[in-house]
Every structure is written in C-alpha cells, then in structure tokens.
Structure 1
Amino acid sequence: MMRGRTPIVFAAMIAFLSVSFTGGFPVKKIKVSAPFAMPPISVPDFSKTKKLSIVDFGAVRGDKDKTSEAIALAISKANAAGGATVVIPAGEWLTKKIHFKSNVNLYLEKGAILLFSDDPADYLPAVPTTWEGMECYNYSPLIYAYQCKNIAISGEGEIKAKMDTWQTWFSRPPAHMASIKRLYNLAWERTPVESRQMVNDTAHLRPHFIQFNRCENVLLEGIQITNSPFWTIHPYLCKNVVIRKVRVYAHGHNNDGVDPEMSRNVLIEDCVFDQGDDAIAIKSGRNPEGWRLKVPSKNIVIRNNIVKNGHQLVAIGSELSGGIENVFVTNCKVMDGARLNHLLFIKTNERMGGYVKNIYASDIKAGKIDSGILGIETNVLYQWRDLAPTYERRLTPIRDVHLNHVKASEVKFISRILAQKELPVKNIFLKDVTAGKVTEQKSIHENVVHFKAE
C-alpha cells in the first residue's frame, strides 16, 4: 500500500539516460518513475535523419492515388536508407492507407492535414489485425505498422478520418452480429488466424485508425487526431511505446483514445482526450487469444493527461485474458462538464480468465462523474452474453489496487466492487479518495477481502 503522498518523482518529467543503437539506428532510453520496477523505455531518435518531402515523390493535393503512392515510395526510400523522416507539408492531403516500414518517422508540418479516405476498398487487401481482442484478417488500419522497429508519427499537423462511410457502419445489424459471433467461434476453436477472413459485404468490422502491431520502439508525439472508424491508437503486442502531447477528438462508436493491448513498457503523457468511449483502455486479448499468446499488458504509466469527455479515464478490460499488471495513473485531470462513468473501471467476466494486479492511481482531479471514482465488476459481457454461451469458465483474480489523493466534485459512489463469492477481489486501498457530494452510497461492495479506506 502507498503511504503518504505519492512521491513527486512519480510525476516528474522524463529523463533521457543515454542514446544507443538498435540495429544500427539511434534510440533514446527514457527513465520513467513508478511504484513498481519500470525498465527504461527505448524510443527512436530521428533528430539527425534526412528529410524526404512527399512532394518530391509525386504527391498532389486532392489526388488520393498520387499522394498515397508518394507516401509509400517515400517510406520505402527512408527504410532503404537505414532511416529517414517522411515529411507531410502544410496543406490538406487526401490519402489511402499508410503502411510503415522500420526506421521511419512520419512528420506532419504545422498546418498539414493528412485526410484519410472513407472508401473501404482503399484499405484492402486484408491484413493481420484484430477486432475487440480477437486476431483476424480485416481491413487495414488507416495507419498500420506490422513487425516494425524504430517508428514514429510526429509533428504539429493533423491526421483526420473522413467518416461518411464508417459512421453508417456504427450500427450493429444482424449480419454484423453474425460475423462477430463467427469470429468469436473461430478464435475459440483456435482456427489459424489466416483462415479468419472477416472482409465481406456484411461484416462491417471497422478498421482502427492507428495500429502498431508487434512493433518495438514506437513514438507518437505532438499531432492532432480527428475522428476514427474504431479504436483510435492501438499498440498491439508492442514493446517500448511513448505517446506524448497528442490531442485526440473522436466521438464515434467504440472510439477509445488509446488501447495498449498485450504491450509492455508504455508511457502515455501530456495528452488531451475528447472521446466517444474510454480515454485509455488497457487490454490483453479475449478468451483463447490471451491464453494462446500469453503476453500480459504490463509496465504502463499514464500521467499528466486531460480528459474532456469519455466513458472512463482509464478502463482495464474487459478483454484481459492475457493478464494486466503494473499500471500507474497519476496527475491527470477530468475537465468540468465531461461525461464520464468512472475514473478507474476494472471490468471482466466469467469467460476471460487472465488476472489484474498492481494498479496504482494518484493525484487525479475530476468534476461530476456519472457513476463513481472506482468501479470493479466481474460480470460485464456486453453483446456476448446473448451471442455465444460460456464454453469454458475462467474467473479473473483481481488484487492490489491502490488509489491515493483522488478527488471529484460529485459522484454516486466512491467505490463499487461487484465480484464473485468464489473469487473475491482482494487488497483494495483508498487513501484521501473523496468527493464533494455522494448522491447514493459511498461504498457498494460484494465479495471483497481486505478493503481499507482512510
């Protein structure tokens, strides 16, 4: 349990330890303080790389095909040169999908807008990706990196998704529900991923905006992100990820801000989130996917962020079958007037298994919250409750959750913990966790062992 105020070093600015080289490319080592052993995070250093303007490769404003081809050529040139910065100049540039290669920085100048088409055909052929914690072949994310090392998206410009088509896919008609049920069963049967082809006329599994898939040493810094077909930023099976000074505005269906999934050594700081769903949602695979891959999300620090809207400041789950541990949320603020359900919400169900442990939150301020500060629920199934039965029951052990110096102006409850009798939630510690007004009940608990509030 944390005692006293969280040491100021936890919220201190990053410190660069050294510059080293991975595969011949320079990386910076960033030291991040946390109440658990947090290894230094490696991020690529593009400060001395050559700059390649997409104009020199044939990009033309308003010409989707030429601009898309120019970006691809510039990325290939940067990669072949051993590393370079691909520059998007000021102005609006309509494009198709962007696929990264290693040692590439996509840099958006001030005033640059990279506008992504909403024609699903522009995101084919299908690529190995995910849908709500299950691996499959689906439409390419708008920006996609697969098995890349030393990559970045940076600058002062904006990436933006056209939404005319995607917003018509927000609804979940019977054909869509049948498709996700099919994927659920394919995953349950351990069907090889290449056989889980999900692109057809009716599935409408919307692509992520940005997915870093099985990547290492990733930096996302400075840009504005506007709109998203699905999850906005998705580091999946990644190691060493820094997301810094990014502004996200996305109010569509499932528009989480950042979804670190089965990723480790992650820093999310100095960002602004204005979301239609969770600002940050930490995940680790759904059911057999998490059990098969066996990669927990761990060593994740979230600090100095502002939330303008969202379902939760930080959600953990519900896809958490690979386990989640060592999460530290500190010095974050939820703006007055934001519509928020919880500050911290841990959610799972009888099918997930996995585990949650070593979760810390300190020095968080919020206005009115629709539900409460801390929520833990172990029976959250959403649409899956009626779509598929429980093929195998695996409960989720949840323990060691610490909240320190957290304040809201109005809540229904401070903490609501609803767990199973056969596997209680354990070791929940609240210190100086308060609200100006509690409209229902301060603590609503079922099956909790060793809860302490002071």
Structure 2
Amino acid sequence: MKTTIMTNLNNLLVVIILLTTMSCGTKTKPVQQQSIKVNAPFEMPEIIYPDFSECAKFPITDFGAVQGDQQLISAAITAAIDAANQAGGGSVIIPEGEWLTGKVHLKSNVNLHLEKGAVLLFNDNPDDYLPAVHTTWEGMECYNYSPLVYAYECKNVAITGEGELKAKMDLWRTWFSRPRPHMNSLKRLYEMASAGVPVEERIMVNDTANLRPHFIQLNRCENVLLDGIKVTNSPFWTIHPYLCKNVVLRNLKVFAHGHNNDGVDPEMTQNMLVEDCEFDQGDDAIAVKSGRNQDAWRLNTPTRNLVIRNCTVKNGHQLLAVGSEMSGGVENVFMDSCTVADGANMFHLVFLKTNERRGGFINNIHVSNIKADKMSEGILGIETDVLYQWRNLVPTYERRLTTISNIYLENFEANDVKFISRILGNEELPVKNVNLKNISVKSVEGEEFIHENVLNFNFEK
C-alpha cells in the first residue's frame, strides 16, 4: 500500500512539474541529434549522438530530493527521469553535493547531468538493485541484479557533466573472492546458456550466486553519449555498451581497481567512438567483447566499427584487449594516439584471446602511434587457448575455433618488454596476416618473437 501511494504521488508530481515548466516558458524542445565523422582505415559510418542543449532541465531538488535521505533522492531521480522522458527530452540535474541512491534506470531522451562538485553515490546494498533485470555476466545473458546505472532499449540517452558517479564497495568487495558456491552458480549459468534455456529462466539472484552488477550498462540502446564525468569504483565491468548502436564516450575519467574492473567493454556494439579519456583500472583498460559461445551465436551481432583515440591509461592489464568473450565476432577496430603512463602495471599493449569454445572471428584490428613504459609481457599477444578458471569448471559442449586475421600495429614506442610479439595460434586454424611496423623498444628480456601456427607474419622496423 505504501509503495502504491508513493508511486501515485510521484506520478502526480511529474504532471505538476511538467505543467509548471510549460507555463513558465522554459525550453521544452525535444532532444536533437548530432553526428560525427571519424577517420579510420576502414569504412566508418557517421556516429549519431544526442544533443540536449535545447531541452528543459529537471533538477532532482524540484522533485523532493534531500541530501542524506536515500529514499527521497532515489524517488526524485526516478520522477525527474519520467518527467524528462514525457517531455520528449530533458536533462535530469544532479546538483553540487553528495547524493546517495540505489539503482538509476534511464529512459529514452534523457540526459543524466552531474554538475561540478556533484557526487552521485551508489549504495552497496544488493536489495537496492532488485528486482532482477535482463543483463549479462561475462558474455552470457541472464536476469541478475540491476546495473547501478541501467538503460534498456533506449534511444537518445546521455550521462554528462563535471560531476562523479561513485560506488560504495564495502559489500561488493566481499564478493570478489569467487568462493565455491559462486563458481557453482556460474557453472549453472554456463550450462543453461549451452542448452538454450530461455533467458527469462536464468535467474541468478540468490544467496550464493553473488554475481556483481555492472556499474553502467547500456543494453540494446541507440544514440548514446557519455561526456565529461568521472566514474569511481565498480562492482564489476565499469562501462558496458551491450548490443548498442552509435555510442560516443569522451572526456571521461575512470578509476576502478577491483576484480574484473575493466574500463570500457563494448560488446556486440557497432559504430562507437572513445576519445580523450583517462583509465586507471584493475583489469583491462579497453576490453572489446562480443558474447560467449551459444548466446553470441544466437544473437549473431559482431562488434564492428570501433575507434579509440587520444586516451591515457594510468594502470590496467592491457591497453587494448579483444576477448575472450568474442563469439559474435570482432572486426574493424582502430586505436590511435594513446599513451600508457610511466610506471603503469601493464601486461600487453594489445592482447587478443580466445579458446576452442568461442568460434567467431577477430579481423581488421589496427593500432598505431602508441607510447608506453615497460610491459611485464610484450607489445602484442595472441593466444588461442585462454580458458582461465573455466578450463576445469565446465566441459566444452561445442567446439568452434576462432579465425584471427589482418592485425596491424604501427609506430609503437616502449621501454622494457619480455617480447615484441607472442602468437600462439591453433594448429588447425593458424593466425593469418599479422603486420608490425616501426616498433621501437629499449630492451627485450627474451626472444623477440615467440610464434606458433602463424601464416604471413611481417615485421618492418
């Protein structure tokens, strides 16, 4: 009864705010669209993204938000999002100060705008992220805790401003260890996905699964902009565009040093630009994905047309990783003019990884003009037998090999490395057409090139 009353009051408040906005002559123009043409060594379509500059503003304080009261803040954010959506476009304003909340679900034609000095702090109580939503875990679809910020089947959505999205981590951190009950739940999910169990029946919210939610997941969205914000801490993958089209990420500062804390994970997403961002990660900085095994084969949507440029990485396992969840295929990736900070704890600059269960393909990867310090591994790594903890957890139900071809690296500068390239291809399906040009390193600890099952490798100093 209390929930019903609060819902009705919120709906009434949305109507009052909309009427007040229109009667006062405030801008109520619908969201506009901009486009950007990106140069790449492959045909790259213009990327469309939303422009909210002429839209009305909806401060959460106008909807009853009071600092220190999570219930009022969460209700106000929801009501403001509803109002902006119903107005045909609007910016939900998070003012200066700290605002504690649970999940935030965006809607079409809504910009979540954080003003300078604003901190939207997300609680770490799992109950705040229920009911379960249609999401993913490491490339497998399921119903799990809601991502902290979630958009599903939305068009024209944005998160902008000079403020910060921050996750409280006290509880999530206790889930990092992956104890046996958690691994058993992962095994159950893997088996359901392999058997084609409908996603609606893959309910992973229980006392033992402990599948941590993403921080920001944009699921099946179109025309997405993230610009200017800082993102701090994350239970799982930090920014996850999943099955999206037209995505622009720019001027972001991302810091997350927990387990599986990749910076950005584009997955089965097409036409995407990442530029002028700073990453400080506990895992890969940019990790390109395209789903795992049967789920990805069912969805049949490659990650395609991805450009990353002018980014800085302060820490992270790899500058650019592809896989190992890449069963839908990855093609047309261009990274240019990125820098790894001195002292960064990096493994590889470019690492492509798959295994006998993935299938799919990796094709047409271009990386150029990279400056870095030392690598604990090397410049380029390609491995076709990467299974991690899954090797002994579950069997290979269906064997499909991955085609890897047309890899281009040019103009790299690095200090100490273990090797320049290590390519461990599959004997039945060798890696093809790998081209390295103008690769400058100060010292190589061991062999420069460690290669198995590679056809047409070219190295030009």
Report the TM range for the smaller structure's normalisation.
Answer: over 0.9
Q: TM-score, normalised by structure 2?
A: 0.93
What's the CA shift for 1:420?
A: 1.2
Does 1:120 pair with 2:121? Answer: no
The Cα offsets for residues 312-359 of structure 1, whole Å up to 9 and x where unpaired, read as 001000000000000000000000000000011000000000000000
The residue aligned with 2:413 is 407
1:342 equivalent to 2:335? Answer no
Structure 1 counterpart of 2:395, one-letter code:
P
Q: What is the aligned partner in structure 2 of residue 49 from structure 1?
A: 55
Report the secondary structure of 2:373's partner residue.
strand
Say which one has the larger Rg: 2
Instruction: Deviation per CA, 1:17-75: give whole Å up to 9, x if none.
Output: xxxxxx96411011000000000000001011111100000011111110000000000
Paired residue for 2:233?
Answer: 227
State yes or no: 1:137 paired with 2:146.
Answer: no
Task: Give 1:218 deviation, angstroms.
Answer: 0.2
Distance 1:291 1:24 in 2: 38
Query: Within 2, Cα distance between the matches of 1:243 and 1:336?
Result: 24
- Listed one character per residue, the Cα deviations across residues 228-272 of structure 1 (whole Å, up to 9, x for unaligned) are 000000000000000000000100000000000000001001000
DSSP-derived class of the 2:173 partner: helix
**Deviation readout 1:365-417 (Å, 9 max, x if unpaired):** 00011100000000000111011111111000100000010111110001000
Report the equivalent of 1:420: 426
- Indicate which of 243, 249, 260 corresponds to 2:266: 260
Question: What does 1:278-427 correspond to in 2, within 5 Å?
Answer: 278-427=284-433
Following superposition, which runs of at least 4 residues in structure 1 exceed 3 angstroms of deviation? none
Are 2:177 and 1:174 equivalent residues in the alignment? Answer: no
* AA of the residue aligned to 2:210: H
Separation (CA, whole Å) in 1 of partners of 2:131 and 2:115: 30
What amino acid sits opposite 2:78 in the alignment? A
**Structure-2 separation of matches of 1:420 and 1:257:** 29
Q: Which amino acid aligns with 2:153?
A: Q
| Unmatched 5+ stretches in structure 1 | 1-22
Aligned-residue identity in percent: 66
Hey, what does 2:79 align to over in structure 1? 73
Residue equivalent to 1:18:
none
Give me the whole-angstrom Cα distance separating, in 1, the residues matched to 2:343 and 2:446: 20
Q: CA deviation at 1:434?
A: 2.0
Distance in structure 2 (CA, Å) of the matches to 1:372 and 1:101 = 43
Structure 2 counterpart of 1:215:
221
Cα pair 2:31 2:54 within 8 Å, conserved = no
2:183 corresponds to 1:183:
no
Match of 2:157 among 144, 151, 160: 151
Residue in structure 1 matched with residue 93 of structure 2 by the alignment: 87
AA partner of residue 181 (structure 1)? K
Unaligned runs of 5+ in 2: 1-28
Q: As a proportion of its length, which structure holds more helix? A: 2
Whole-angstrom distance in 2 between the partners of 1:33 and 1:68: 41
- Code of the aligned partner of 1:150: N
CA distance in structure 2 between the aligned counterparts of 1:24 and 1:316, rounded to whole angstroms: 38
Q: Answer whether contact 1:414 1:434 (CA < 8 A) is retained.
A: no
